[in-house]
Amino acid sequence: MKNNPSSVKELLQHLVRIPSVNRFITGKTGAEEDVAAYLKDLSISWGLNAQLLDVPGIGHNLLITKKFKSGVPWIMFASHMDTVSAEGMAFEPFCGEEKNGRILGRGSCDDKGSIAASLWALKQAAAEDTCGNNIAILLTVDEEQQRHGAAAFSKIQLPDIGFKPAGVIVAEPTSLKPIVSHAGIAHFSVITRGKAAHASNPSNGRSAIHDMMNVMESLENDYIAKLTASDPLCGRARCSINMINGGRQVNAVPDECVIQVDRRVMPGEDPASILPAVENILARLRNADPSLQVEVRPLFSDNPLSQDLNCPFIKNVLDCLEKSGPDAGPTGAQFATDAGAFSGAGLPCVVLGPGEDTEAHTANESIGINELEHGVKVFGALMMRRYI
């Protein structure tokens, strides 16, 4: 087929050259469709099975499988096809250029490096036909914004694929260090409403921005500063006010102001508990000023990765990593991944992949070719590993 790569490096370069910026960033539908179509055709040309799985209203996940034997476990590798915005990058974002031993471009590290490494490892395993497990590679849509792909797989698609994975390697850039626990996310907005008036006589109105200043002060002092939840691997709960928008024109008192807030939810916390706690802060402000109009609205919620670390799959993965290299001790993370959705469906997960997480989403995103090739070896070893 056209663009049939001869190395994992060439595969990654071609993937980077297919733009797949998340649809909720660009406003364009079908963000990942070209990547999915290319990888589906490529996988079939390599003798693998591949099928598109509908994610209603969003696009398609891609499931690539190779059944080696009957009666052995299915091990799944999961990556995402979308990327963050390509604006403001230090070079042409979809160049896929090789420079100083690295592949440059948006998605090279997060997450197309992991896609290339896992698919190349499966290509090699299929050619040797000695794998002791059945292998699936799931490529999801919309990981970077609202996790529609992982949610659809966990809630809709999983019961219909004909097998249940013994576990999932959620392939994300971790410098090939295993993450077994990570934070969840609660995104919400807070809205204040005032009364519009001409700026020539502001006393006729009520500034929603001024009211928001008081709301933000209370959130910072009475909510954010008093968060105490923590996890041994992930650290402390965190929260930050990261966007604000208010006013309609410079010569009018603003009648509305909106902030957007990011709350990192620790393992053991329930994301559903976040908004009621914020509402308690707002209720106290309303009691102090009955004329204050303020409300909180949910935007997005994502479960933390919280699981039994004595699970046989996790112990097997950690043991395999210990045998293949250093730094195999389990770690945690403040960021979130598709693992939260998979774990919620009863699938044990280890987040692991080539590339450094400090490269993800940056203006200079890249991945070392040696890291990429080492990722193929590690993923190959995990595919060959005997899981009991």
CATH of the domain at 213: 3.30.70.360
**DSSP letter, residue 53:** E
The verdict on 240 and 265 lying in the same domain is yes
Task: Using the 3D structure, point to which of 302, 331, 363 is the last residue of a domain.
Answer: 302
**DSSP-derived 3-state class of residue 238:** strand
Domain membership of residue 137 (yes or no) is yes
Task: Decide if 139 is inside a domain.
Answer: yes
pLDDT at 210 over 90: yes
What number is the average pLDDT over the span 271-298? 97
Share above pLDDT 70 across residues of the chain, in percent, rounded to a whole number: 99
Mapped onto helix, strand or coil, the DSSP state of residue 245 is strand
**Residue 2 covered by a domain:** no
Average pLDDT for 62-74: 96
Query: What integer is the mean pLDDT of 244-272?
Result: 96
**Are 51 and 178 within one domain?**
yes
pTM for the full predicted model: 0.93
Q: What band does 326 get if pLDDT is binned at 50, 70 and 90?
A: low
- pLDDT of amino acid 328: 76
**What is the number of domains present in the chain?**
2
Residues 275, 293: one domain? yes
Whether residues 197 and 345 share a domain: the answer is no
Query: What is the per-residue pLDDT for 329?
Result: 87
H helix or E strand, kind and range, residue 369: helix 369-384
Residue 150 lies in a domain: yes
The angle, 0 to 180 degrees and rounded to 10, between the axes of the packed helices 112-128 and 369-384 is 50
Q: Is 166 within a domain? A: yes
For 261, residues 6+ apart whose C-beta sits below 8 A from its C-beta are 187, 188, 189, 190, 219, 239, 240, 241, 242, 278
Distance CA 123, CA 5 (A): 12
Report the largest interatomic distance among the alpha carbons of the chain, rounded to a whole angstrom. Answer: 80
User: What is the Cα 105 distance to its own chain's centre?
Assistant: 18
Mind listing the pLDDT tens digit for each residue in 31-41? Answer: 999 999 999 99
194 and 106, same domain (yes or no): no
Distance CA 317, CA 381 (A): 10
**Chain segment 346-363, per-residue pLDDT in tens:** 999 999 999 999 999 999
Q: Which of 209, 167, 16, 151 is nearest to 77 (CA)?
A: 167
If asked whether residues 227 and 264 sit together in one domain, one would say: yes
Q: Structure tokens of 102?
A: 């690295």
Question: 279, 302, 325 — which closes off a domain?
Answer: 302
In a domain, 209, yes or no: yes
In this structure, the answer to whether residues 252 and 337 fall within a common structural domain is no
In a domain, 3, yes or no: no
Residues 12 and 108 in one domain: yes
Distance from C-alpha of 1 to C-alpha of 24, rounded to nearest angstrom: 32
Question: What sign results for the dihedral spanned by CA atoms 151, 154, 159, 160?
Answer: positive
Tens digit of pLDDT for each residue in 140-193?
A: 999 999 999 999 999 999 999 999 999 999 999 999 999 999 999 999 999 999
Report the alpha-carbon distance of residue 192 to residue 259 in Å, rounded: 9
Assess whether pLDDT exceeds 90 at residue 386: no
CATH number at residue 313: 3.40.630.10
Question: Is the pLDDT reported for residue 325 higher than 70?
Answer: no
Q: In terms of Cα–Cα distance, which of 336, 324, 331, 361 is closest to 121?
A: 324
Last residue of a domain, one of 277, 302, 327: 302
Q: What is d(CA 140, CA 86) in angstroms, rounded to the nearest whole number?
A: 19
Mean pLDDT of 34-51: 98
Q: Are residues 62 and 101 in the same domain?
A: yes
Q: Are residues 84 and 201 in the same domain?
A: no
Summarize pLDDT for 75-118 with one digit per residue, the tens.
999 999 999 999 999 999 999 999 999 999 999 999 999 999 99
Q: Of 3-7, 44-48, 102-106, 275-279, which range is least confident? A: 3-7
Terminal CA-to-CA distance of the chain, rounded, Å? 38
DSSP-derived 3-state class of residue 117: helix
What's the sign of the alpha-carbon dihedral 162, 153, 311, 132? positive
**Rounded CA separation 25/299 (Å):** 15
Residues 39 and 159 in one domain: yes
Q: Which domain holds residue 215?
A: 184-302
In a shared domain, residues 30 and 172: yes
Average pLDDT, the chain: 96
pLDDT at 388: 67
Residues 6+ apart with CB under 8 A from 6: none
Does residue 1 fall inside a structural domain? no
Per-residue pLDDT of 178-208, as tens digits, reads: 999 999 999 999 999 999 999 999 999 999 9
The two tokens of residue 10 are 């060439």
